[in-house]
Structure 1
């Protein structure tokens, strides 16, 4: 009988202790860190995708680009995020250099904790369908020089972490002869390598996307167009996120 009584008392004490513990809803939740995120780039950062348009093919439609999906990831990791997306569809490296002279952009960069950049593809697109390969290589050299200038300008006014995207194979679904396509893909690898070198020389972080998109071209590039699907932008955001660990940003 004494043993039963002892067991009962022990259970009662445990029950009282449990009742005294704070529930999850009562526990103190850590304050959310505030993070200022600036996105710079072209239509990929702006978030455009091809959609079917009746019998006439497809048209581009504005959706969430990879910066918006990155913002979602930060918020799920208990960050309060301010996203200033200054990307412009069709922007070239020269356009971005000019964009960095705008007062609003300058101010946002100065306050930034994180900056992402994708730029350079539009410098090359007009030369892809020509037989003038020398001009294509010349344009890529000019684009890389401009990217170095862009990183230099940004680093003059901020200590933010800077992430620069490498390009995926946007030629996969385009109507280009196979031999020519292989040559251009080889060129793309060289261009990405150039971006990577310049990025790392300037103490920024290179984010490759070529392999990630190559894993499922039919889902990520479903139309004969260079722009990604919604799933494609999510995949690119995932590649950026991998490079953002450990994620210690904001105040």
Structure 2
């Protein structure tokens, strides 16, 4: 796989702030975020910027020593099947073996690729039989993913991030059916997490079904920075409830297009054209055709 930006923070940071005793706090933190575009930090305008994983890493650094942080295993468009495949590579196993905190976002692409959103009409449609099959497959894959993580990352606490209602702009009478399917997905994720002692992080209550302030683009399901803030704070309600990301702690927006990131990757790691083509074909996933052909996308968080 083509070498890409690895959002990793190395070196121990000085401890700052008091810390109440809590079993889930890992010192020093070695944090790896895996999963889909939410873990990668995709914006409502199909760019990459600070996501919930980056905000979690920043808040960890404010409050405790951090050994490293990586979202190198976060790929826009990944389904649970893609995530299962990605964590079994030698590169992934090496990263995961040293992690003691892992967050995972997986399952939404299994479901939402089957939902047809008409932003002009404010309507949602899907075929129930297809959705039932996809949810069952997501359950099977998530069980396998968490089993692999338990095997590859025996010292890590795994946090399974739930999903929010992604269509707040549609008509109210169009929300119920899809909201029910997302509730089922969250139930599946929670059950899978509980089977192996992982922690399920519920985010849906922070959004509700009308969160146009957090999901501002009627034609896109990704949240803005405020939405990612809500997701990160939901994580801290499980990890260390006293820690909260305040509005004045949010970083400035610095979105990069997929083209800009790929160009920067090519500059940092020039290869033969045929090698680049092969790498892009490997990273591309048909589960999200709008992103097909793009590599895994990340943005490094500098130590400050």
Q: Same fold (TM over 0.5)?
A: yes
Task: Name the structure 2 match of 1:185.
Answer: 179
Distance of 1:77 and 1:115 partners within structure 2: 18
Residue 188 of structure 1, CA deviation: 1.2
Is 2:102 the partner of 1:115? yes
Higher helix share: 1
1:72 to 58, 61, 69: 58
Select between 122-131 and 62-71 the one with higher mean Cα deviation.
122-131
Does 1:153 find its partner at 2:148?
yes
Question: 8 Å contact 1:114–1:162 — kept in the other structure?
Answer: yes
- Counterpart pick for 2:190 among 196, 212, 217: 196
Residues 1:133 and 1:69: Cα distance change in structure 2 (over 3 Å):
same
Matched, 1:242 2:237: yes
Could you tell me how far 1:217 is from its partner in structure 2?
1.1
From the CA coordinates, give the structure whose radius of gyration is larger: 1
Quote the offset at 1:126 in angstroms.
2.3
Higher relative contact order (CA 8 A, sep 6+): 2
**1-structure distance, mates of 2:222, 2:129:** 26
> What are the superposed Cα offsets for residues 179-213 of structure 1, whole Å, 9 maximum, x if unpaired?
34211111211221111111111100000000112
How far residue 34 of structure 1 moved from its aligned partner, in angstroms, is 2.8
Deviation at 1:219, TM superposition (A): 1.9
Rounded Cα–Cα distance in structure 2 between residues aligned with 1:131 and 1:192:
18
Contact 2:80 2:141 in 1 (8 A): yes
Given candidates 34, 41, 56, the residue that maps to 2:28 is: 34
Preserved contact between residue 75 and residue 81 of structure 1 (Cα < 8 Å): no
TM-score for the superposition, normalised by structure 2: 0.65
How big is each residue's C-alpha offset from its partner over 1:119-146, in whole Å with a ceiling of 9 and x where there is no partner? 0111112211254211111101101110
Could you tell me how far apart the structure 2 residues matched to 1:233 and 1:246 are?
17
Q: Distance in 2 between matches of 1:81 and 1:218?
A: 36
| 3-state SS, counterpart of residue 221 of structure 1 | coil
- Equivalences for residues 2-151 of structure 1 within 5 A: 33-50=27-44, 59-85=45-71, 86-129=73-116, 130-151=125-146
The number of residue pairs the alignment matches comes to 209
Kindly provide the CA deviation profile for residues 46-68 of structure 1, in whole angstroms up to 9, marking residues without a partner as x. 00112xxxxxxxx3121111111
Q: Runs of 4+ in structure 1 displaced over 3 angstroms?
A: 29-33, 177-180
Query: Given the superposition, is the C-alpha separation of residues 113 and 134 from structure 1 closer, same or farther in structure 2, using an over 3 Å criterion?
Result: same
State how far apart, in whole Å, the 1-side matches of 2:63 and 2:209 are. 27
Cα separation, partners in 2 of 1:69 and 1:31, compared to 1, 3 Å: closer
Give the unaligned 5+ runs of structure 1. 1-28, 51-58
| Cα RMSD, aligned residues only | 2.1
The answer to whether the Cα contact below 8 Å between 2:139 and 2:188 also exists between their aligned partners in 1 is yes
Q: CA deviation at 1:35?
A: 1.9
- Between the aligned partners of 2:227 and 2:126, the Cα distance in structure 1 is 30
Indicate if the aligned counterparts of 2:168 and 2:210 stay in contact, CA closer than 8 A: no
1:220 to 185, 202, 214: 214
Q: CA deviation at 1:31?
A: 9.2
